[in-house]
Structure formats: structure tokens, C-alpha cells
Amino acid sequence: MAHKIEILGNTSELGAGTRGSSLGLDALQVASLKYDRSFFLRNKIKSLKTVNNLLFKKVEMPYAKRLDGIAEMYGRIETKVSKTLEKGNFPFVIAGDHSSAGGTIAGIKKAYPNKRLGVIWVDAHADLHSPYTSPSGNVHGMPLATAIHEDNLECQNNEPENETKWHWNVMKGPNARVKPEDLVFIGLRSTEEPEDAIIERYNIPVFRVPEVREIGVAEVVAKSLAHLKDCDILYVSFDVDSMDPSVSEGTGTPVPGGFDEEEAKEILLALIEDPRLVCFEMVEINPLLDKKGNSMAEAAFRIMKPVHEKIEAKNS
């Protein structure tokens, strides 16, 4: 579908509860010096302007912190992704926190308004909260809810302010961009009850780490893609916290019991074989939380490079 990869750098970190994921792209570039010095010379990064300066301001919307800035970043990544696709190119997004991935999805849908989009979320978390349900107010736990246009009022715990509701409704758009049944989770192991309710309500497939190890990556990928057989196009989102903290704790919300580096790489390399893939995203590298130097970014680069090369070979 595409003929050239464009690396889009989105270093927004407004949606996380910890600071430092805006430095993830820099950490990846430092890692590249160890493994492939000219990688980012050959593959130029197109960087989005952020509004991370809002971090210095007091939080005004406790149930969806800094939602005004995140809504702005949604619009920016939506425009960048849609224009990349409309040129016939492949958006390879490297983002700070996961909050603006809903904007990536919006961009795919803007470029392909009549195509059915399937989403594979390789992540420890479901990211299905809304301002009505979030226990933390951190918007990196909400991008998929915007994509499926879900407030989840059945599980409401919060009463957001009108400004929050306004920005949230803008981010959701007029209609769902993804049908809930067109989601697949791989590596999920940290959810709250409101998210579990959505997964159960829509019967969304979840492949947890023990199951992946029991039946094998090839079988999990085959089942995931079979579930999405009616989708015209696919997007894969890879949160590095899908990996175990033993790989590195250099991510905002590490959860024990995750994949090792080789498992994560095997999963992604198998998923991107599908010819329907139109966009790939990697998120949540946080070198400030890394207790082993730059180990998370190094692991992420060792995964990213073969994924990038495989997509490049497919599209050349």
C-alpha cells in the first residue's frame, strides 16, 4: 500500500503520570550509535511540535490531566499521519507516552474513511479508560476509548468538568473510528474493572503472556489476524511496557510478567507480515526511569530496527 517509510517523532508526554517519555526518541538515537550509527542518517525523523510546556502549569482537569494539550497533539498527529498516508507513504510513529495514539488512529481513518480498521495493541495495559472512569486522570490510559467512541458511563466513577467533556468529545470525533470487536490485545496484564467491563461487553480477544508462551507466537498471531479478517487495514501499536521489567524499568508503568525482548520482537515481526498493515507505532520509552543506563532504549532499538527493515523491504 505504501512505498516509503516516514519516521514521525511525537515526543508529547502530557498523558503520563511520570516525566521523561519525551526523551525516549533521543534515547533511541543514542542507542543507535551502539548498533547502527547511520540509522537515523538514512532514516530522517519528521518531528511534531509539542506543547510539553503545559507540564509547567497547574493541572486544571483532574479527571483527564492536560487534556487541552493532548487534544491539540491529537490534531497534530492526525494531520501528520493522514498526510503521510495520502502521499502513499508508511507512517512509522515513535511517540512519548501512549495518549496521542488515538490521534494516530484518527489520522489513519482520515486517510481511509471508507476502510475498516483493525487495531492490535501490544501492551501491558488496555488504555480503555475515559475521564468518567479513570482512577488516575492520566490520559495515556484513554486512547483506545477515543478510538472506539466509548465513555463507559455504565462504570462511571467520576464527574468531569464541562471543559474536560468538551475536549474529550472533540477527540472522540463524531463516530467510532474502530469497532470494539476490531481490537486485539497482546500482553495485557494490568487492567481496572471499567476496562474489563468493556473487554467483556464487546468480547475483545486478549492474549496474555502465559497463553502466548503456551501456544506459541505463530498461533497467537494467526488467531489475532483471523479475528480481524474482515478489516481492510491494520495498525499495530507497541508499548514497551508489554516487556517485563527485567528487560528494563525504563518505562512509565512497568508491570511484572511481561515478554522478554526476543518474544516481543518475534510477535511484531510476525504481525507486520500482514499486507494490510498501514501504520506502526512504538511508545513509552522513558530513560529517566531506567535503572540500567539506556537499556530500555537499546532493547527497543534492537526490536525497532528489524521491524523497520522488514516494513521497508515489503514496501520497496
What's the confidence (pLDDT) of residue 12? 98
What's the confidence (pLDDT) of residue 1? 47
Q: pLDDT tens digits for 54-63?
A: 999 999 999 9
- d(CA 104, CA 119) in angstroms, rounded, equals 11
- d(CA 263, CA 53) in angstroms, rounded, equals 37
Q: Which domain holds residue 173?
A: 5-315
Residue 137 sits in a domain of what CATH number?
Answer: 3.40.800.10
What's the confidence (pLDDT) of residue 6? 98
- Altogether, the residues listed in the chain come to a count of 316
Number of compact structural domains in the chain: 1
Name the strand (E) or helix (H) holding 185.
strand 183-186
Q: pLDDT tens digits for 109-130?
A: 999 999 999 999 999 999 999 9
Low-confidence stretches of the chain (pLDDT < 70) are 1-2
What's the confidence (pLDDT) of residue 3? 74
What's the confidence (pLDDT) of residue 316? 80
